[in-house]
Amino acid sequence: MKGISRSVSATVAALLLSGCIGLSFTEKKHETNRHVSIGKELIDLRTAYDEGLLNDEEYKAVRQQILKTDKMEETEKSANQKEKPDESE
């Protein structure tokens, strides 16, 4: 049973970290580059759930993490746009 649990955990980690989110660190700046859309991540997650690779709890946890990451990125974009002066002025 532990082998199955580890396999599921590895699958979840692979879904989250398999290039869906690429992190780039500089001296003072943290940048997140999305190579896969949120929609594609959610579709892949649902496929894994439908195939029985994740239980309800795991599916909900990973889904919330994907949506939370998206919301954080939108907040950062909004804040960055407010900081930049309007070039048309």
- φ and ψ at 53, to 5 degrees? -80, -20
d(CA 60, CA 12): 11
Mean pLDDT for all residues in the chain:
75
Confidence (pTM): 0.51
The count of other CB atoms within 10 Å of the CB of residue 4 is 8
What tokens does 79 get? 């804040």
What local confidence, expressed as pLDDT, does residue 22 receive?
Answer: 47
**What are the CA-CA distances from residue 89 to residues 18, 78, 80, 81 (Å)?**
43, 19, 18, 15
What local confidence, expressed as pLDDT, does residue 82 receive?
Answer: 78
Q: Which of 1-10, 30-39, 59-68 has the highest mean predicted lDDT (pLDDT)?
A: 59-68
The model's confidence at residue 32, banded by pLDDT at 50, 70 and 90, is: low
